Amino acid sequence: MPFFAPAQFLIERDDARCIRCLVCVHECSFEVHVHDPERDEVWSRDERCVGCHRCETICPTGALAVRLNPMDLRPNANWRPEHVRDLQKQAETGGVLLTGAGNDKPFRVYWDHLLLNASQVTNPSIDPLREPMELRTILGRKPDQLEFDDRQGDLVTEIGPQVTLETPIVFSAMSYGAISYNAHVALIQAAKEFGTLYNTGEGGWPVEFRRYGPHTIAQCASGRFGIDLDYLESAAVIEIKIGQGAKPGIGGHLPGEKVTPAVAATRMIPTGTDALSPAPQHDIYSIEDLAMLIYALKEATGYTKPICVKISAVHNAPAIASGAVRAGADMVAIDGFRGGTGAAPKVIRDNVGIPIELALAAVHDRLVKEGIRNRASILAAGGIRSSADVVKAIALGADAVYIGTAALVAMGCTLCQMCYTGKCNWGIAVTDPWLTKRLNPEIATRRLLNLLRGWSLEIKEMLGGMGINALESLRGNRLQLRGVGLEDWELKVLGVRGAGQ
């Protein structure tokens, strides 16, 4: 039965410029471009195009342009083209619609409604180019109080394990399997060179990466892939993944297309199977059980590493975060509903969870109110797009932020949201060796280092403008923020005043 399934993108080919090099034909993993050797013509099957712009970027003569198909159905503010397309696809397949990357719907982005302060006349601003400016961030449980030896003045209080970041930006969890080997190499190299951390994600770790352990957060998720004592002991931090912002409350199925022999070996599952991450961790049905896993990991590593608990930003995130801290977590990561994913049901990605800005503010306030904020560092994740977002997150109460999508974009991602297909044309969200080779790990490392450097310089500029010379002084300092275009309840949750107040 024929049905209406228009192309999402239209490919414009300037035949006068095309030199028939066929690079577009060879490079497109979605097989959009076709060469007819008899007529020596190149044409395109637009309906297959996902809008990644790979062909347009590599075409040596600039003969290609990929444009969004306006799909001029009768205008309808309710039944938008996306709904029509999704309905058609489900009527055709009867399946769950999948997607990749983060929530792309026009919900309010609170970062864009928060403005920063700057000093004028009093408390003079600081020029970070000439004056010392401290971005160093130390993550881990801080003691409730410090006790000193009466005679010598030596510190008596036992300080738990801590990790030091040179900038408050950490690469968030993206598993080996969801993203390529080369992408992992780049992230880990950049983290090492800049003095920050990278997160393995839940897919385990190729053993040759273990020498990078001191710059690594090793994840322990419901699938328990690739977890042994060497993995846990080599890392700087261990993270228990309870939830992910893009898909709170559900597990994950890494599609079989991406489970190559190398991925299968790392995860200890059959090649070509879907890697199943159950929705819950089946040894955690309560806060008490969470405490049990936290202490199992502490026992396994001799109490030498901070344990982080990562949760999705959901309605009752503050109570959950409080429970996690009381259960023994040294760090809590909160992942907002705009966080990315390698594969998630579209209906979950677009409808479940709450914005990180609100969740972060609420969690920080709750922990402060309960007098336990010192016991855990907070990592904010899910939709951090710029250094300004980082500064605002820290002012709302974060110790540091996780970036995932921003790092992928730095490596070349164009956010076509096709990560779940295993066909990423940029060699990023893919495991196919032929496609993986497109990402040069050295170039990608340099680009990630540039991102960290650029953001860090900008953060120093913003801090200096506020007359602050240490990031620590900004943490939870909501007086440096003002809201614009926000309602009273939103200002109240964020704990900020309106602009002009």
Which residues contact another protein by CB under 8 A? 89-90, 92-98, 223-225, 227-229, 232, 253, 255-256, 264-265, 267-270, 272-274, 276, 278, 282-283, 292, 295-297, 299-303, 421
CB of 293 to another protein, least distance (A): 8
Look at residues 100, 119, 54 and name the one whose alpha carbon lies nearest to residue 461: 119
CB of 146 to another protein, least distance (A): 23
Calpha distance 350→340 (Å, rounded)? 11
Residue 133: both structure tokens together: 């400016």
Look at residues 168, 185, 293, 283 and name the one whose alpha carbon lies nearest to residue 239: 293
CB 333 within 8 A of CB 379: yes
CB of 251 to another protein, least distance (A): 10
SS3 312: strand
CB of 376 to another protein, least distance (A): 20
92 or 144: CB nearest another protein: 92
CB of 255 to another protein, least distance (A): 8
232 or 457: CB nearest another protein: 232
Calpha distance 453→138 (Å, rounded)? 19
297 or 403: CB nearest another protein: 297
Q: Output the 3-class SS for 266-280.
A: HHCCCCCCCEEECCC
115 or 264: CB nearest another protein: 264
CB of 23 to another protein, least distance (A): 27
Q: Letter for the amino acid at 218?
A: A
Look at residues 169, 172, 203, 187 and name the one whose alpha carbon lies nearest to residue 439: 187
- CA distances to 34, 80, 109, 133 from 478, in Å: 56, 39, 18, 20
81 or 256: CB nearest another protein: 256
204 or 412: CB nearest another protein: 204
173 or 481: CB nearest another protein: 173
Q: Which residues pair with 52 in a beta bridge?
A: none
259 or 486: CB nearest another protein: 259
97 or 109: CB nearest another protein: 97
195 or 272: CB nearest another protein: 272
CB of 94 to another protein, least distance (A): 7
Q: How many CB atoms lie within 10 A of CB 409?
A: 17
CB of 99 to another protein, least distance (A): 10
- CA distances to 135, 387, 461, 466, 482 from 125, in Å: 17, 19, 10, 6, 18
CB of 343 to another protein, least distance (A): 9
The residues, ordered by sequence, that sit 6+ positions from 301 with a Cβ below 8 Å of its Cβ are: 232, 233, 238
Q: Which one-letter DSSP state was computed for residue 470?
A: B
Calpha distance 310→297 (Å, rounded)? 15
CB of 265 to another protein, least distance (A): 6
289 or 461: CB nearest another protein: 289
Look at residues 448, 406, 411 and name the one whose alpha carbon lies nearest to residue 426: 411
At 261, phi and psi to the nearest 5? -55, -40
Strands (E), 363-440: 377-381, 400-403
CB of 241 to another protein, least distance (A): 14
Calpha distance 66→63 (Å, rounded)? 10
Calpha distance 243→339 (Å, rounded)? 11
